């Protein structure tokens, strides 16, 4: 790989030229990594709802042309000045948020919200010099979430790169760099269900099933899946979900349904939809005295959370989490080891695989709501 060190690399990338239009695969030029940057050869990437959301650009301003993608796995091709812990050939997961290891958040054992590298959906350039590392015929193509994994090569800040076990199959562990770890960590790191406890999971997409998998690993005895789509219930059994509730089947609030099912409420709940009403239900369905609800889904920016203060006074706890409270560089390697040790089952999250030339098919599958994760082989 060292023959390309310091050189511009020409490779294929899937370009989003405008909102909602199919991605176009064409040749891009990828500049070498600058100070504290890493250039990675992406081998596998997968599609997450966040990619689709910013590609559609219905609810926010997106910049185009742009290279989307943030859930992936690859191999370090070259490193820039100042990078000491990574070398060419290392197996890595690129991550949409980072860990600079210098700021107050990174030094805190309780936070993973790095001041320098936390998620920024609007920035389309590198932090160091405000420029893009991608271009077509001399014109810049913008980055996405600091990752841009829908390209055969990409450049990231070193703080957004997690070095992993070189024996881990990259076509499987690529899905651990975003959604599944977000749900898994929300349960294991934040809700922390005890053995034999009851857990309600709101939303049974990939993130919610990651949360359910966390409840299974923690030894929960009851995992109640809540979703408006009953077709998801059969699949969810593979992830440890033991009971199902479709709020549309009842003429009373779902929190009341769950409280009746569980003699006063569940021990823990994890909300993975971003719907404000589901968030309120997830909080109000936990047991008084010890219940903990964790919010994972991202609500509309104008949404307001309304509940009676007595719900807090009766010793229910409400928490929020970002990326499952995992610090990307410090903690993701251990999540990969959970898979290598056969504790965490990753294969069941991967329902489709397509070649890079058919990346638009992955978008079609997600828009139809078919499957969980589609892995794209570069």
Active site residue 123: no
| Residue 281 is assigned to a structural domain of this protein | yes
Compute the distance between CA of residue 346 and CA of residue 217 in angstroms, rounded to an integer: 13
Same domain, 161 and 280: no
Active site residue 49: yes
**37 and 57 housed in the same domain:** yes
Q: Kindly state whether residues 286 and 372 are assigned to the same domain.
A: no
**Residue among 178, 272, 285, 374 flagged as catalytic:** 178
Q: 65 and 201, same structural domain?
A: no
Among 151, 141, 108, residue whose Cα is nearest residue 11: 151
- At residue 365, the pLDDT reads 94
Give the domain CATH number at 299: 3.40.50.720
Pair (39, 167) in one structural domain:
yes
Work out the pLDDT band at 2, boundaries 50, 70, 90.
Answer: low
CA distance to 35, 90, 324, per residue, from 31 (Å): 12, 20, 33
91 among known catalytic residues: no
Residue 92's pLDDT is what?
A: 98
Does the annotation mark 50 as catalytic? yes
Report the candidate in 344, 188, 212 with the shortest Cα–Cα distance to residue 272.
Answer: 212
| Cβ(128)–Cβ(34) below 8 Å | yes
Residue 241 in domain: yes
Q: b/e string for 3-36 if b means 16 or more Cβ within 10 A?
A: ebeeeebebbbbbbeeeeeebebeebbbbbbbeb
Catalytic residue among 37, 45, 66, 71: 71
Q: What is the total count of domains within the chain?
A: 2
Average pLDDT over residues 241-270: 98
Range of the domain at 102: 9-175+346-377
Predicted confidence at residue 310, as pLDDT, reads 97
Q: Which of 103, 121, 242, 307 is catalytic?
A: 103
Same domain? For 304 and 165 the reply is no
Q: What is the CATH number of the domain that holds 73?
A: 3.90.180.10
Q: Looking at the domain assignment, is residue 332 inside a domain? A: no
In a domain, 339, yes or no: no
Cβ-count burial of 355 within 10 angstroms (0-12 exposed, 13-18 middle, 19+ buried)? Answer: exposed
- Is 70 annotated as catalytic? yes
Among candidate residues 11, 29, 49, 235, the one labeled active-site is: 49
List the one residue out of 264, 267, 319, 274 whose CA is nearest residue 301. Answer: 274
Catalytic residue among 39, 91, 118, 157: 118
Do both 93 and 198 map to the same domain? no
69-110 per-position pLDDT tens digit: 999 999 999 999 999 999 999 999 999 999 999 999 999 999
**From 37, 91, 105, 106, active-site residue:** 106
Residue 246 has pLDDT above 60, yes or no: yes
Q: Are residues 170 and 187 in the same domain?
A: no
Told to judge if 114 belongs to the known catalytic residues of this protein, a careful annotator would answer yes
130 has a pLDDT exceeding 90: yes
**Which of 39, 45, 66, 70 does the annotation list as catalytic?**
70
193 inside domain = yes
Does 53 fall in a domain? yes
């Amino acid at each position: 790989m060292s023959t390309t060190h310091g050189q511009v690399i020409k490779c294929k990338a899937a370009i989003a030229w405008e909102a909602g239009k199919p991605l176009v695969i064409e040749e891009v030029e990828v500049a070498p990594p600058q100070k504290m940057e890493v250039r990675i050869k992406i081998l596998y990437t997968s599609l997450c709802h966040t990619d689709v959301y910013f590609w559609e650009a219905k609810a926010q301003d997106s910049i185009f042309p742009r290279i989307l993608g943030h859930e992936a796995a690859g191999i370090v091709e070259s490193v820039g000045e100042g990078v000491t812990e990574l070398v060419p050939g290392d197996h890595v997961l690129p991550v949409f948020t980072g860990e600079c290891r210098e700021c107050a958040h990174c030094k805190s054992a309780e936070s993973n919200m790095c001041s320098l590298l936390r998620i920024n959906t609007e920035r389309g350039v590198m932090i160091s010099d405000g420029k893009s590392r991608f271009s077509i015929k001399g014109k810049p193509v913008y980055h996405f979430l600091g990752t841009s994994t829908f390209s055969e090569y990409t450049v990231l800040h070193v703080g957004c790169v997690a070095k992993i076990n070189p024996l881990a199959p990259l076509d499987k562990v690529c899905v651990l760099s975003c959604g599944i770890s977000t749900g898994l960590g929300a349960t294991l790191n934040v809700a922390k269900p005890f053995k034999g406890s009851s857990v309600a999971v709101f939303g049974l997409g990939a993130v919610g099933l990651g949360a359910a998998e966390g409840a299974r690993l923690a030894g929960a005895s009851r995992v109640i899946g809540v979703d408006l789509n009953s077709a998801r219930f059969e699949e969810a059994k593979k992830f440890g979900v033991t009971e199902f509730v479709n709020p549309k089947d009842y003429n009373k609030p779902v929190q009341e349904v769950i409280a009746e099912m569980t003699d006063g409420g569940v021990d823990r709940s994890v909300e993975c939809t971003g719907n404000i009403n589901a968030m309120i239900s997830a909080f109000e369905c936990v047991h008084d005295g010890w219940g903990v609800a964790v919010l994972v889904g991202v609500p509309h920016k104008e949404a307001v959370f309304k509940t009676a203060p007595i719900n807090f006074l009766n010793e229910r706890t409400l928490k929020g989490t970002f990326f499952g409270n995992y610090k990307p560089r410090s903690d993701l390697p251990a999540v990969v080891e959970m898979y290598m040790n056969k504790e965490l089952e990753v294969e069941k999250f991967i329902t489709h695989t397509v070649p890079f030339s058919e990346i638009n098919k992955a978008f079609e599958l997600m828009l139809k709501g078919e499957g969980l994760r589609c892995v794209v082989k570069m």
